[in-house]
Homo-oligomer: A and B are copies of this chain.
Amino acid sequence: MSTQVNQAVQSKQVELVSRPEGMPTSDNFRLNQVSIAPIEEGEILVRNEWMSVDPYMRGRMKEGDSYVPPFRIDEPLEGGCVGRVVESKNDRFAEGDLVLGNQGWREYWKSDGEGVQKIDPELGSPQAFLGVLGMTGMTAWVGLKRIANLRSGDTVFVSAASGAVGSIVAQIAKANQCTVIGSAGKESKIEWLRDKAGIESVINYKKTKNLSDELARLAPNGIDVYFDNVGGDHLEAALEQMNDFGRIAACGMISTYNATEAPSAPRNLFRVIAKRIRMQGFIVRDHMDDYEEFISDVSSLIRSDQIVWEETVTEGLENAPKAFIGLFEGDNLGKSLVRIS
C-alpha cells in the first residue's frame, strides 16, 4: 500500500516539435513540463533513472517510415528506460522495484504494468538492462545466432564495432571461436576494441582509402558473416569480400538515416547471386521468445570476462537530444545512456 499522498506529479519530458530533415538538431526537440494525474487501481507510477538513445529512433522521427508508428509531433518521445516504482496500486510491483519500460525521454510515467519488466539487480547494474543485458545486447545475439547462424570458425565482419550493438557482436563472435574484424572511425575506439575487448583486427574506415582492399588484407580467406550496422560503403566492401554462402545480418544502416538524398550504394549487389549470399533484415522484438536463452548465454559470457562494455553517459533529461544527435557524430563508445535523476 502506498503511503504517498495521491496527487498529481509534475514531470518534465522531451517532446518532438518538428520532424528532422537530414541531421536532427536541438530545434527539433522541446523540454516541457506536464502534470501526471494520480494513478488508479492496477497502475504504477515510475520515476525514470536511465534512458536509452538509439539510432533506430531516427526512423520513428520520420512520417510512417519505420516498423513502429512514428513519434507524434508535440508528444514526448519514447524508448527504453529504467526507473523505480514510486507508487504502486498493482500487485505485481512494489514501491522501490526497479523496472524496465519503454517510456523514456521523461521523468515520470505511469502504466498498468503491461510490457513492464521487473529487473533483478543481482544480474547487473540497472542501466545494463538498457545495454548488454537489454535489447542492445539481445540485438547482437539474435543477429548472430538466429539470423546469421553463426558457426564456430566463421570469419565475422562487424561495422560500428565499438558501438552499443557492434561491441557485443564482436565479443560474442570471438567467444564462439570466430575470427573477428571490426570497423570504427576513431583511434580511441580502435584502442578500446584492441585493449579491452580483445579484437585485434579493426579498420579505421576514416583513414582507409579502400575499405574492400583493407578488408581483404585482414580477411585473406574471405568473410562468412557480415553484421551490418552501417550500410552503404561498408556493405559494398563486405559484399566484395564475402565467401560463397555468406550471411549478412542486416541490423542497421546508420549511413543512410540522415540522408537527404537517396543513397546509391552498394553498387555490387549482384554479388549476392554468384556468391549465393543470404541477406536478412531483423528486428529484435520479433525474437522475444528467446529472451531467457539470450540472458543465460550472455550472463555466462560476462561472468567469464568474455564480454566487457562501455557506457557513454549524458547527465540530465534536458541533454537527451544532444545525446541522441551524438549517435550520428560518432561521439559514443559503447552504449549511449542518459541519466535522468
Contacts and interface: CB of A to CB of B under 8 A. Distances in A.
Interface string A51-87: 0000000010000011100000000000000000000
Interface string A249-267: 0111100100000111011
Nearest first, the 6 closest Cβ-Cβ pairs linking A and B are A262-B267, A272-B281, A273-B281, A67-B274, A278-B280, A264-B264
29 contacts: A59-B274, A66-B274, A67-B244, A67-B274, A231-B269, A235-B269, A252-B273, A253-B269, A253-B273, A256-B270, A262-B268, A263-B267, A263-B270, A264-B267, A271-B281, A272-B279, A272-B280, A272-B281, A273-B281, A274-B281, A274-B283, A276-B281, A276-B282, A276-B283, A277-B280, A278-B278, A278-B280, A278-B281, A279-B280
A275 interface: yes
Contact of A282 (B263, B273, B281): B273
Interface in A204-225: none
Contact of A250 (B59, B235, B272): B272
Given A272-B280, A278-B281, 15 more contacts: A65-B274, A250-B273, A251-B273, A253-B273, A262-B267, A262-B268, A264-B264, A264-B267, A266-B269, A269-B269, A272-B279, A275-B281, A276-B282, A277-B280, A279-B279
> By CB atoms of chain B within 10 A, which of A67, A252, A279 has the most?
A279
Contacts of A253: 269-270, 273
A286 interface: yes
Chain A interface main SS type = loop
Interface of A: 59, 65-67, 231, 235, 244, 250-253, 256, 262-264, 266-283, 286
A280 B276 contact: yes
B231 A275 contact: no
B231 A270 contact: yes
A253 B239 CA distance: 15
Contacts of A278: 278-281
Contacts of A59: 274
A32 to B, nearest CB: 29
Contact of A275 (B67, B244, B268): B67
A271 B59 CA distance: 11
Nearest to A264: B264
A273 to B, nearest CB: 4
Contacts of A267: 262-264
A271 to B, nearest CB: 8
A219 to B, nearest CB: 19
Contacts of A279: 272, 278-280
A286 B245 CA distance: 11
> By CB atoms of chain B within 10 A, which of A66, A235, A273, A276 has the most?
A273
